[in-house]
Amino acid sequence: MNTRDAYKIRATRGSNSYKKAPIGMAQVSSKTNTKTEKLNSQDYSIGSKTPMDLNSVCESLPERSCRHPLTNMRQNAHLARCEESIKVRFDSITPVLKKLANLQHESDFVSKADSITSSELGFNFPIELLESAWVDGLNMKALYAKAVFNALNSSIAQFSDDLGRNVDLKVDANSFFLDCGYHSVDITPCSDGRLKGLAKYILRLPLSAITVRNSYAGALFNVESNVRDWEKIELDRLRNGKVLDDGNAYLKIVVYHRSGSDPSHQGCAAHGSNDKVSAEAGLEKLTEFREAIENTYCCGSAIDILLIGVDTDNDSIRVHVPDSAGNISVHRYVDTSELYNETLSMSIDQARVKLYNAIDICSDITGWGQGAGRPAEGMRKVVANLLEYNLSQIEYVADLYGGMYPDIGHAERYISVGNGFQEIQLRNIAYFAHLDTVEEGSADLDIGIKIFTGLNLNKGLPAPIAIHYRYDSKVPGSRKRMIEKCYRVKNAIINRYKQLAENNNLYFQISIQDLPLGSSLEIISEEA
């Protein structure tokens, strides 16, 4: 999928200004600041040979400038500006609230508070939350939740606008997948907040080109629900004159995660931070899904599967290469962290040849990872492109963070419950609990509450919970039913975590959206 030119054109149309991208909850080192400034100041032409200081990824190559030939620097600069503009909204909340705390007993507090929040947060708190400060003090929990939800809603608007500007990328990506033999792409990542930027940053895939995207704790998706998604897509294809045996297949991808620097503690919580267990669990779900489709619908129900592991320390990926029969082994993969260094000194053409050769070498291994030959050409092209695009993300992390994120653990800002805000694609913004009912999603919710106990509750801050579902405006009564469902879910969460709710440690925003990506966000209520 050659979207490099499209990204380049888009970045050229954007602002030439650039600021340092923040890193969330962690401290920014002077080294990181320097890297960020250099990212903006470099010549961003593809394959640029402009020298720069070495980053930590390239310390083993002291004679070379650290600029990978396949890195799209214009795209990286655009993504950095996007990251900064979103995270600064959340990172500004606590400092602003501390200022208000120091001013709350002054006679002109309300006017001062309005001035501060307007300039630093871009909105004003409801007057009723400010006027009573002289009596009982500021309700910091309510103010904090209000600020988080405002930052969330502003971010959705920004991402939706960006999505609307890049329809050409969707067309390009869809054409690529069709050329590879895939009419639909279904991705299930773990719901961990560190994978929230999977499509936009890690894999560099236009979100609108992904047919189905649902996150689950540990990537343990519901097989029956995924079968229904497949049925809906195939029915739609038939209604549009397509046939099941047209040579195109359905591609199902599962994404697990690991931590290279602290594998025993910063891996997937749902799998006890065990990389092998995470990969095996993802593969088991993929196999169950494929078998469910094949056993139920037999002929013409082509399903291809792909397993990807993400090192959340640096966003490098392991792509578990299928064999000629489409089968996967957790012991057979290509790792971009290795390929990055191996191809750093090569030309563009040499590097791309290296990526394809790496796939072949991986396919030919013996031992535990041995398979039945090399993958089909379409799958080979998909894997090669995923590898290439991820190299840009490795360099992105190297430029901005010295090769590894400072916040290698959880640093989410809110808990997203329901269908999720699919437009928002950014690392560690949200922990996502995908559920239709609280009973079905209890495991995901419990993990989210556990995470926010450490992030917020133990520090006296509440857990902001954004309940969000999408409705289908084409279906009569869908909007009303989704609103009713939101309130049922909210009440069920309160009942499950009664003590937290009674202590005003849970704050909720209820919102809905029409099905199409980029639809207007409709706020139904925001309350404790």
By C-alpha distance, which of 486, 489, 490, 477 is closest to 511?
486
**pLDDT of 444 over the 90 cut:** no
CATH of the domain at 283: 3.40.1050
For 420-440, the pLDDT digits (tens) are 888 888 999 999 887 777 777
Is 133 within the bounds of a domain?
no
Domains of the chain: total: 1
Q: What is the mean pLDDT of residues 128-142?
A: 87
Q: What is the mean pLDDT of residues 112-138?
A: 90
Is 364 within the bounds of a domain?
yes
Enumerate long-range contacts of 440-446, CB under 8 Å, 24 or more apart.
Answer: 440/222, 441/417, 442/496, 443/217, 443/270, 444/191, 444/216, 444/217, 445/415, 445/417, 445/493, 445/496
The 3-state secondary structure of 308-346, one letter per residue = EEEECCCCEEEEECCCCCCCCCCCCCEEHHHHHHHHCCC
Q: What is the pLDDT confidence band of residue 388, given thresholds at 50, 70 and 90?
A: very high
Q: What is the mean pLDDT of residues 349-366?
A: 96
Q: What is the pLDDT confidence band of residue 173, given thresholds at 50, 70 and 90?
A: confident
For 194-248, the pLDDT digits (tens) are 999 999 999 998 877 788 888 888 999 999 999 999 999 988 888 877 665 666 8
Is 261 within the bounds of a domain?
yes
**pLDDT of 30 over the 50 cut:** no
Q: What is the mean pLDDT of residues 35-63?
A: 40
Q: What is the mean pLDDT of residues 111-139?
A: 90
Q: What is the mean pLDDT of residues 350-354?
A: 96
Is 434 within the bounds of a domain?
no
Q: What is the pLDDT confidence band of residue 61, given thresholds at 50, 70 and 90?
A: very low
The boundaries of the domain holding residue 217 are 173-401
Q: Is 514 a catalytic residue?
A: no
For 274-291, the pLDDT digits (tens) are 999 999 999 999 999 999
Is 252 within the bounds of a domain?
yes
Catalytic residue among 162, 172, 192, 315: 192
State what percent of residues in the chain have pLDDT above 70: 84
**pLDDT of 54 over the 80 cut:** no
For 469-526, the pLDDT digits (tens) are 999 999 999 999 999 999 999 999 999 999 999 999 999 999 999 988 888 899 998 7
pLDDT value for 245:
60
State what percent of residues in the chain have pLDDT above 90: 62
Q: Quote the distance between the C-alpha of residue 110 and its chain's center.
A: 38
**Between residues 426 and 441, the one the model is more confident about:** 426
**pLDDT of 191 over the 70 cut:** yes
Q: What is the mean pLDDT of residues 92-119?
A: 93
Answer whether 323's CB lies under 8 Å from 374's CB. Answer: yes
pLDDT value for 356:
95
Is 351 within the bounds of a domain?
yes
Q: What b/e string do you get for 458-486 counting C-beta neighbours within 10 Å, with b at 16 or more?
A: eeebbbbbbbbbbbeeeeeebbeebbebb
Is 67 within the bounds of a domain?
no
pLDDT value for 366:
93
pLDDT value for 211:
85
Q: What is the mean pLDDT of residues 440-464?
A: 91
Q: What is the mean pLDDT of residues 345-372?
A: 94
Is 48 within the bounds of a domain?
no
